[in-house]
Structure 1
């Protein structure tokens, strides 16, 4: 009984599941750019993997059904209508515009996706040919839907190829720059004049961001930067305040996300726009003709199949509308509009393409948060009864260590205070970088980029007092040592000072950066310069558990004031953050764009804009910045 029921409903259930997965990907696929929570990762990941599998299985079942209705067995009205579903499954395999690749590895597997495209297109055509045994209006109505499915799936396959590392280099080099006038102004006019001209246009941050993106996007493909590019962009970026600097790199990384993980490459192309208009009109036509067909058909279909067919057509219609709305308010669309406005203004024709101000205000381009993980909190954990039960189950299936770590993840906002302290540290390094940019100073520039807290120790004349675990040991060990020291100082001061002191900016940010760096070490070891972070962390957990009472009794030996001590600790963490940022590979930075973004990536791009990055084809940068 159950088997007969499943046989009758299998195709219907699979088709509805496929449609549901596509709706989920359309709605949440782009939101993972600025939501870093685990629930959206699990939702998008499971939907992304299941979507292709479900559509493929459904297509295979439709092909099997069509074989069973060949020869002496004429197709029933149910099979006739179900054969019309095959092109919509091909449409589903094309995926939404908001997400093509879940990770960068998907782009590198473009050949596999090409083979799948050819196979699934063949299966769809096979189902269509089998339906010719009883030619009717649906047979002809399937043709435009097959073409739409072919376009959607073909676009996805082409984007996989275009976003692969080797091809992406050529793609990024061929980007049309919509802000050539701004570049010209930056070379010929003062900064105040540039600012005034851009403010007349409105949304000038988009123009700034694209100017920088055009020149630095190649880093994500492993290409080097020229001296000329650095000389153009460093003066352009160095005078910006912290908030504007972080906003600019957020827009830039949003541009990069679109290239790596969405169909943006083709959406704003003339051919792409034409194809999308064609898809939309084809779907609307299909909806109208199918409705007319139902009224003139001599025998009725099952009501369930009619409803499913309407769901498929309306689902395709909604997905096309959703994609259009999404990309109409995208930063790229606004940039193109500003480009047209700038050209119109240059010709004094008065035309301007306006964008509602509420669409740009408070627009989230990344999560604006950083994860927090604390070693001592984990070591003295007090797990509730519910978690103990969960942990017993997790231990049985071998994920106990993974689950325990995630129980102690927290979040902190990347607020303006944090941005300003980080940016101040980067600017100070940039000022020293200008002094080091002299061939007569040997490898001074390389030494500057190798700092990871040792410069702060030397500046405060603490090198004679002992080993402070900066450049004398592996970077992961240095992070763990300073993480423990930061917590010990905090808890020691907790008994000596008032809460107002512990809420000071330097104290709060030191702890935030300390917990953030430990999170990167444990959960994102590929982003750190050494790859044995998790192993070192496990060993440290054992040591802290054994010696926690001794560590709690340690007293500060510096004799400094509270503020001076925490200022020094904060400076060390900013320096270590910068070291980790510039020594992380661009591929690892690119992966994080699809996970809500990382503060480390934004810091790396800011440092790169200021010349604090080793990925140049020259050893030193000679700069002359016009202060006027």
Structure 2
């Protein structure tokens, strides 16, 4: 058995390496617009395995080359080693990886120096194997062009990782150094004029620019047959400006005002479309080879790489296939490696032509060649089921606390999961699901932020607008005077999320049990969606929310709810659970009974729910629809507060998982001027001598 494995291990490893590259290039781009845990797991496993398998295969080749070829008295044995040694550059090509996934996560970009060292080491090993197998045969010469392609592919990956690292990404965005006006020369002139007896004073001149006009990209579009041509141009133009937010830099005052002016005069649909383009371009910059692929140098390198591999393959088919000196199995494997390398390059070109970058270029040109190219690309897109118009998942994850505490979803293979000690790891994922972001929700968010945008006139106003997390809505709806509701906004943010999440669901089930038509109202649906989404962020993406003890509060709240439900064993559905919670007497505040040892907010949320329900019974005499409209506005303000407080690096991390809806809201706020990342000054000031 060991003898059979020693004979076949290299062949198997090489074929497995090729298979992993196929999986990566087929699925690598899908995570850009698909939020799926299985896809993430497959890509994670494949990404890590691909480098490991290729490295191990190179190690096996290096180990085999230690046997002196003079000791191989059997000519067939020497020929077999020569053809196997020709696989070394293919393994380097595999280490270079496909164009559409250079980094699985942002942390991979920070390890670009490790990949550079790996390039040097693995290239040295491959060259060593190649030199040890040199025998003046035609196959040796065929390997050289593949080496050229391998060096290009591996070098491109290392360069892309380096550019995606936080330090170099920021440096690539920084403007050129500006020393400003020549102070020494100015003072020399000042002293000279003063010595001549003139009265000299210093004035200030403010240099300003005019704001950009709407539809500023319209003139650049020559080919309107390209889908979403206008949003592509606007998205690309704003991406060149707003990518500095992903480097923790600040906008100029003029860029801030230009963007604010532009988006205030656009519809919600177009605004979100432009943002999707921007985030798609940012994903390409951070996780793919786009920084090099879509440049002239990148196109040249791709042409050299493809032509080198193709010429070597044609020569291989002409000279080696009919050569009886080599093993038929090894010749078949070499043929598969050549075919696979060329097929992957062709598929990479198809992906390149289907990208937003290519469509942007096509929209700027109008002639019969461009039209023919676009028609060909469209046919290829249909054949390979590719689309450049799908840029984000358009999903928002949902997590319900009461459902989680009731364990009302059957879990498959629960005993096996517990035996493998993975049940607790997967339990929360089991109670998580996704919903499509409705157009009504996007409209509501855009309208609310548009109203805020008109008040974002300076940095202080922006700070106040970003700080609001429901209090502004309560004030607008005259609910701030009553401590019965206002207190729930003044506590820590994670506590507010839990309070309003539970209270929202209690109100929903209370109204539903009374057969109220308001549960079908759009405001009610919006509130439920945002409630579950914000709890998902608290439980599954805590790093995207402001610092706090949200996890502790969630655990304690779940523990108290589970204890209550277990005492009343008849509770098996959410409706029953909500009725029981609302029947609990909360006249005395829970903190006076339990103290502050437990961080549970379960019965505080019951108090809040009763206060919200009482809005219909007090002198305010609200309708149920009005109550739900107010609650939906509170949730939108909580969402915008969370978006503004999340750091750019966390927004960027979520791009590899189909994008987070919170990131779209964050960028929309920045475009509407609701951000603290801009300069305060209104223009460039320079001094001027006033001589009299």
Task: Tell me if both proteins adopt one fold, taking TM over 0.5 as the criterion.
Answer: yes
Question: Does residue 1:401 correspond to 2:428, yes or no?
Answer: no
Shift of 1:351: 8.3
Show the 5 A alignment for 1:23-422: 23-74=22-73, 75-132=77-134, 134-172=135-173, 191=214, 194=216, 197=219, 201-202=223-224, 203-297=229-323, 299-341=324-366, 355-356=374-375, 363-382=389-408, 384=410, 386-394=412-420, 397=421, 399-422=422-445
- Measured at CA, do residues 263 and 304 of structure 1 come closer, stay the same or move farther in structure 2, by a change above 3 Å? same
Shift of 1:557: 1.3
- Measured at CA, do residues 519 and 431 of structure 1 come closer, stay the same or move farther in structure 2, by a change above 3 Å? same
Shift of 1:163: 1.5
Gaps of 5+ in 2: 177-208, 565-576, 584-605, 617-621, 684-692
Query: TM-score scaled by structure 1?
Result: 0.89
Structure number, greater radius of gyration:
2
In structure 2, which of residues 452, 462, 470 is the aligned counterpart of residue 429 of structure 1?
A: 452
In structure 1, which of residues 453, 460, 463 is the aligned counterpart of residue 477 of structure 2?
A: 460
Q: Distance in 2 between matches of 1:302 and 1:607?
A: 64
Q: Distance in 2 between matches of 1:52 and 1:300?
A: 32
> Would you say the 8 A contact 2:524–2:629 is kept in 1?
yes
SS of the residue aligned with 2:454? helix
Shift of 1:281: 1.0
SS of the residue aligned with 1:513? helix
> Would you say the 8 A contact 2:223–2:364 is kept in 1?
no
SS of the residue aligned with 2:452? helix
Shift of 1:461: 1.7
Aligned to 1:10: 9
> Would you say the 8 A contact 1:103–1:594 is kept in 2?
yes
In structure 2, which of residues 664, 671, 676 is the aligned counterpart of residue 614 of structure 1?
A: 676
Shift of 1:353: 8.4
Gaps of 5+ in 1: 176-185, 622-628
Q: Distance in 2 between matches of 1:40 and 1:150?
A: 30
SS of the residue aligned with 1:618? coil
Aligned to 1:532: 549
Shift of 1:191: 3.4
Q: Distance in 2 between matches of 1:562 and 1:594?
A: 40
Q: Distance in 1 between matches of 2:274 and 2:156?
A: 30
1:553-609 Cα deviation digits (max 9, x unpaired): 364211121101110110011000000001100010001111100100000000001
Shift of 1:147: 1.1
RMSD: 2.5
Shift of 1:463: 2.3
SS of the residue aligned with 2:397? strand
Q: Distance in 1 between matches of 2:477 and 2:49?
A: 57
- Measured at CA, do residues 392 and 58 of structure 1 come closer, stay the same or move farther in structure 2, by a change above 3 Å? same
1:253-281 Cα deviation digits (max 9, x unpaired): 00101100000111122221111111111
Aligned to 2:646: 584
How many residue pairs align between the two structures?
591
Shift of 1:615: 1.4
SS of the residue aligned with 2:455? helix
> Would you say the 8 A contact 2:222–2:365 is kept in 1?
no
Question: Does residue 1:564 correspond to 2:626, yes or no?
Answer: yes
Question: Does residue 1:552 correspond to 2:582, yes or no?
Answer: yes
Aligned to 2:508: 490
Shift of 1:458: 1.6
Shift of 1:316: 0.4
Q: Distance in 2 between matches of 1:240 and 1:222?
A: 27
1:402-432 Cα deviation digits (max 9, x unpaired): 2111111111001211211111111111123
> Would you say the 8 A contact 1:338–1:353 is kept in 2?
no
Q: Distance in 2 between matches of 1:189 and 1:620?
A: 15
Question: Does residue 1:573 correspond to 2:635, yes or no?
Answer: yes
Shift of 1:618: 2.2
Q: Distance in 2 between matches of 1:50 and 1:290?
A: 29
> Would you say the 8 A contact 1:198–1:204 is kept in 2?
no
Q: Distance in 2 between matches of 1:432 and 1:79?
A: 74
Query: TM-score scaled by structure 2?
Result: 0.81
SS of the residue aligned with 1:557? helix
1:323-376 Cα deviation digits (max 9, x unpaired): 1110111111111223345xx9xxxx9987874596798821011101100000
SS of the residue aligned with 1:57? helix
SS of the residue aligned with 2:396? strand
> Would you say the 8 A contact 1:340–1:353 is kept in 2?
no
> Is 590-599 or 444-453 further displaced after alignment?
444-453
Shift of 1:158: 1.1
Shift of 1:73: 2.3
Shift of 1:478: 0.6
